[in-house]
């Protein structure tokens, strides 16, 4: 099998992501985020990965949005990256934790001012009467903050997904794809990864 079974899965992910930055025409960090709330029904949407390190995968959103509410109800999530140009995908199962206020503040401060205003203006996932209502809210918050610093809204937060399982998938002819699964193994020293090859 071409995939190296002995590599740390986070290192392999970062290598694939670096290659996707070179080949994907748009948003190589785009991922499907699936959540399950108290109803037991899954929901999914596209979000952008903002950081990956030895601790996990970080994205930012409105904690009062549907995904934020569902994460509060059930912190177990699934992420899928699909890089069409590379004919690869990665699925990651994990548990979500909040990043620190300091990290969220720093990232929010790095965003374009229009995006900062938009974070205040949008009551994400909730119904509204039309585009004009959103535009009025944007204008109101733009006037409120004037030319000063736009603070991070208390409901706009960063989440870190701590991975519990990875699956790496590579397209191969005749649908004889390569699949390699990594799972945390509590029986191994240091909670290391167990590795399994899967049929296509």
- pLDDT tens string, the chain, 200 residues long: the values are 456 666 799 999 999 999 999 999 999 999 999 999 999 999 999 999 999 988 999 999 999 999 999 999 999 999 999 999 999 999 999 999 999 999 999 999 999 999 999 999 998 988 988 899 999 999 999 999 999 999 999 999 999 999 999 999 999 999 999 999 999 876 555 678 999 999 99
Distance (Å, rounded) from C-alpha 61 to C-alpha 122?
11
- Residue that has been written with the tokens 């590579």 in this structure: 170
Q: What is the pLDDT of residue 1?
A: 42
User: Among the residues of 93-146, which ranges form H helices?
Assistant: 101-110, 113-121, 131-145
Question: Burial level of 173, CB count in 10 A (0-12/13-18/19+)?
Answer: exposed
Q: What is the pLDDT of residue 198?
A: 96
pTM of the model: 0.92
- Pull the structure tokens for residue 124: 């994400």
List the catalytic residue out of 45, 88, 175, 188.
175
Indicate if 140 belongs to the active site.
no
- Stated as kind and residue range, the H or E segment containing 22 is helix 9-23
Q: What is the pLDDT of residue 2?
A: 54
Q: What is the pLDDT of residue 188?
A: 55
Tally Cβ neighbours within 10 Å of residue 166: 23
HSE-CB at 130 with a 13 A cutoff on CA atoms is: 1
> Rounded to an integer, what is the distance from CA 106 to the centroid of its chain?
18
- Of 176, 184, 181, the closest CA to residue 198 belongs to 181
How do the residues of the chain divide into helix, strand and coil, expressed in percent and rounded to 5?
Answer: 30, 35, 35
CATH of 9-100+155-198, picked from 2.30.110.10, 3.40.50.2300, 3.40.640.10, 3.40.50.2000, is: 2.30.110.10
């Amino acid at each position: 099998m071409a995939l190296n079974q002995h590599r740390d899965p986070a290192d392999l992910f970062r290598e694939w992501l670096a290659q996707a930055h070179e080949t994907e025409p748009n948003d190589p960090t785009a991922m499907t985020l699936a959540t399950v709330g108290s109803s037991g029904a899954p929901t999914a949407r596209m979000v952008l990965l903002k950081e990956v390190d030895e601790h996990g995968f970080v994205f930012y959103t409105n904690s009062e949005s549907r995904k934020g509410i569902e994460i509060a109800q059930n912190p177990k999530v699934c992420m899928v990256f699909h890089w069409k140009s590379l004919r690869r995908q990665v699925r990651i199962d994990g548990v979500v934790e909040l990043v620190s206020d300091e990290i969220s503040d720093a990232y929010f401060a790095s965003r374009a001012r229009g995006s900062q205003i938009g974070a205040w203006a949008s009551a994400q996932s909730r119904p509204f009467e039309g585009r004009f209502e959103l535009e009025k809210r944007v204008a109101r918050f733009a006037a409120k903050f004037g030319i000063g610093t736009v603070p991070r809204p208390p409901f706009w937060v960063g989440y870190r997904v701590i991975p519990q399982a990875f699956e790496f998938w590579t397209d191969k002819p005749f649908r004889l794809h390569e699949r390699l699964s990594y799972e945390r193994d509590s029986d191994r020293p240091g909670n290391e990864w167990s590795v399994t090859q899967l049929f296509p």
